[in-house]
Chain A
Amino acid sequence: MGTVPSALKHCLSYQHLLKEQLWIAEPPAAAHPAQEPQASGLPEYIKIVEVGPRDGLQNERVIVPTDIKIELINQLSKTGLPAIEVTSFVSSKWVPQMADHEEVMRGIERHPGVQYPVLTPNLQGFHSAIAAGATEVSVFGAASESFSKMNINCSIEESIERFEEVIKSARNVNIPVRGYVSCALGCPYEGNVVPEKVAEVSKRLYSMGCYEISLGDTIGVGTPGSMRKMLEAVMKEIPLSALAVHCHDTYGQALANILTAIQMGVAVVDSSVAGLGGCPYAKGATGNVATEDVIYMLNGLGINTGVNLRAVMEAGNFICTALDKKTNSKVAQASFSTGTIN
C-alpha cells in the first residue's frame, strides 16, 4: 500500500505519536462504551500469570546465569504482574536450566501482592521448595498417556498419585497448588486429544485440591475451534473462575485462542515475556505467547490487567539482550523499531 521510500521518509511524526504512548498506552479508567468489557461479555479483569522465568527460560538453549534470572524476575515484579512463575524444583539432571532453583528462590525480591509459584514435580521437590521459601507451588499433569510416559516416565494415573502426595503436604502447610494440564489441544505423540480426557484430568487435579487449572496447548496446534470444544467439556466439570489458559504460539494461533477463551469467560491467562521459550517438538518454531502481545490485546479490549506494558517490554528487552536473541513479541518488535523504546 502506497510508496515505501516516501512513506518512511515522511513518517517523522509517527515516532512522536508513539512516544505519547498512543498505541501502547494504559487503557483509560473508563473505557469507551463500545469497548466496555461487560457490554461485550468479556471479563473486566484478567490475571496474567507470567511464566517466562520458568517455562520460558526452560525452553531456551542458552543456560542463563543466576544473577540474570534474578534480575529478570525483579524487573517483572515491578510491572504490575500479579503472578510470576519463578523456577522449577526438579532434578538438575533433567532440567539443567533450573539447577539454580534454590539460589533464585532465595535471591529474588518478594513484592507484596505478587505470587511467586514454583514447579514441584514430586514430594522431594516440594520440600526443597518450601525450605527455600516458596509460598505457592504447581504440579503438571497431561491429557495424553503417551506424553506423560515420554515426559515423566509414568502413566497419567501414576503421575496423579505422585501429585496427591504433594497436594496433601501442601494442604498441611497451607500452600496453594496450581495444576497444569498439558496437551489440552493436541499431543506431539498421539495427535488429537479428546476434550473429555482433558476434562477428566482437570477434574482429578481440581478435586485433589488445586485451586486453579491451567490448560496448556503444549504444541500450539489448537485453534479457536478446538479451544471452544475443549473448554465446553472442561467447564462442565470445573468452575470457570478456576480455569486458566496457557497457549503456545507455535502455529500463530495463541491470541485467537486466548480471545476465544476469554469470550467464554476465562479470566486467567499464562504468557511469557518476550515470548521466551521455543518449542521442544518443532525445532526453530516458537513456543509461549508473548506477554506484551497479550497485554496489548487486552488493553485494546478495555480489560484491566494491572500490568504496565512498557515496563514488561523493558524487562523483555533486558532478557533478550542478555540471551543475545531477538524478541518473539511483535509489539516489542514494532515498538523498538519505531523508537518508542530505546
Chain B
Amino acid sequence: MPRCDTGPAPRDGAWGQVSSAAAATGAYPKRVKVVEVGPRDGLQNEKNVVPTPVKINLINMLSETGLQVIEATSFVSPKWVPQMADHTEVMQGINKLPGISYPVLTPNLKGFQAAVAAGAKEVSIFGAASERFTQKNINCSIEESLERFEEVMKAAREANIPVRGYVSCVLGCPYEGKISPAKVAEVSKKMYSMGCYEISLGDTIGVGTPGSMREMLAVVMKEVPVGALAVHCHDTYGQALANILVALQMGVSVVDASVAGLGGCPYAQGASGNVATEDLVYMLNGLGIHTGVDLQKLVDTGTFICNALNRKTNSKVSQASCRL
C-alpha cells in the first residue's frame, strides 16, 4: 500500500488560501459572511455542560480567526437550557474585538433586557415554519410567538439594537414532516417586516436536499430580498454542503456554521447536527469566495473545544489534517 509521509498535501488552493485558479465562474457571490454559531447552537446541543472559562476561551479564539459574527450565548432561563445558564458571565467575560458582532439569543423581553444590560449589541429571535414544532418547543402558536417577538423588536428598535430572525424547520419538521415553502415565506416575510435585518433559514433536522432547498428559496426570495437571507443547514443526512452550494448559486451570501460541527441533533440521538465551519470554509476557499477566515486558526480552535469536551470533531477537514 502506498504511503505518503506528509499526509494529504496542504498545497495552493486546497488549504487555507483562496485559490485564484479555482476562482468563481461568476455563478457565486464574491464574498460570503460566515456566521459562527458554535458557542451557542453548537454547545447548546452538546451533552456535557461546558465551564464558563472554556466558553470564553472558545469565543476569544474564534475572534482571532477572521470570523465577523460569533453567536455568543442565549439569554434564556437556565431551567430550560442549563448549558446557557452562564450567559451574563460569558457576555461580560469575552474580548469583544472591533469589527466583530456577538449576537445573542433573546426569546422574550426579559431575556432581551438582561442581554442589553450584559452588554449585547445584537440579538436574535427564533420563529418556526411549523405550528407543531412551535407548540412543542415554546408552547404557543407561530402567531403568538411573533407577538412575543414584537415586544422584543420594539425594545430593540428603541435601543438601536439590530435583530436577526431565525426560521426553524424550513425544509422539514420532526413532527409535521414536509413543510410548504409558502409557509416558510410567510413567516420569513413577517419577521422581516417586523424589522429583522436578516432571516436565517434553518434546516433544523437536516433532511433537506438541494432539490428542496432550491424550491424553498425560490418561494422565499419572492418575499424577502436575497441580500437579507442566510441559510443554517444541519448535516444530519450529510446534505449540508450540497444544500449550501445551491443556496450560494441562488445568490444567498450568508451561511451559518458551527466550529468542529459542534451540536448533535436533538431529534436523532447520535446523529450529527450543525455543519462544520471548517468544512464550509474549505469549500468556499475552493470556490474562490472570500470569507476573511483563516482556516488553520479555525481548525486549531476546533481542536481546542473538542479536547475540552473530550469528543471527536465532526469536521472532516479537521479529521483529515489530524496526523495522530
Contact = CB atoms under 8 A, between A and B. Distances in A.
Contacts of B172: 23
Residues of B contacting A: mostly: loop
A286 B316 contact: yes
Contacts of B177: 17, 22
Given A1-B202, A285-B322, A301-B211, A334 B7 contact: no
A23 B209 CA distance: 10
A211 interface: no
B215 interface: yes
A133 interface: no
B259 to A, nearest CB: 14
A331 B2 contact: no
B92 to A, nearest CB: 24
B237 A331 contact: yes
B290 to A, nearest CB: 13
Interface string B4-17: 10111101111000
Contacts of A74: none
B25 to A, nearest CB: 7
Given A191-B9, A249-B316, A281-B4, A3 B22 contact: no
A229 B242 CA distance: 18
Given A2-B266, A7-B136, A223-B283, A285 B9 contact: no
B8 A219 contact: yes
B43 to A, nearest CB: 11
Given A17-B174, A191-B12, A301-B210, A280 B267 contact: no
Given A4-B44, A260-B245, A280-B3, A224 B319 contact: no
Contacts of B288: 225
Interface stretch (B114-122, B185-193, B271-279): B271-279
Contact of B319 (A226, A229, A284, A290): A284
Given A13-B175, A22-B177, A337-B269, A1 B168 contact: yes
A296 B315 CA distance: 21
B286 A334 contact: no
Contact of A253 (B268, B269, B286): B286
A253 B14 contact: no
A67 B322 CA distance: 35
Contacts of A329: 238
A1 B215 contact: no
Interface in A248-293: 249-253, 255-256, 258-260, 279-286, 290, 293
Contacts of B80: 3, 6
Contact size range, B = 35 or more
Interface in A190-232: 190-192, 219-226, 228-229
Residue from the set A151, A190, A296 with the largest chain B CB neighbour count within 10 Å = A296
B182 interface: no
Nearest to A189: B4
A252 B202 contact: no
B25 A228 contact: yes
Interface residues of A, number: 73
Contacts of B44: 1, 4
Contact of B9 (A188, A297, A301): A188
A226 B13 contact: yes
Contacts of B45: 4
B8 A188 contact: yes
Contacts of B238: 255, 290, 293, 296-297, 329-331
A279 B320 contact: yes
B22 A225 contact: yes
Interface in B275-324: 276, 279, 282-283, 285-288, 315-317, 319-324
B267 A285 contact: no
Contacts of A334: 206, 236-237, 265, 268, 271
Given A192-B14, A259-B242, A285-B322, A252 B265 contact: no
A325 interface: no
B137 interface: yes
Contacts of A14: 174-175, 267
Contact of B8 (A1, A256, A282): A282
B61 interface: no
Contacts of A223: 22, 282-283, 285-287
A299 interface: yes
A220 B241 CA distance: 14
Given A226-B286, A296-B239, A23 B207 contact: yes
Contact of A224 (B23, B239, B279, B286): B286
A253 B283 contact: yes
B41 interface: yes
Nearest to B83: A4
B98 interface: no
Contacts of A3: 80-81, 137
A253 B4 contact: no
Interface of A: 1-4, 6-8, 10-11, 13-14, 17, 22-23, 32, 34-35, 40, 94-95, 147, 150-151, 186-192, 219-226, 228-229, 249-253, 255-256, 258-260, 279-286, 290, 293, 296-297, 299-302, 329-331, 333-334, 337-338
Give me the 4 closest cross-chain CB pairs, A-B, nearest first: A223-B286, A300-B209, A191-B11, A225-B22
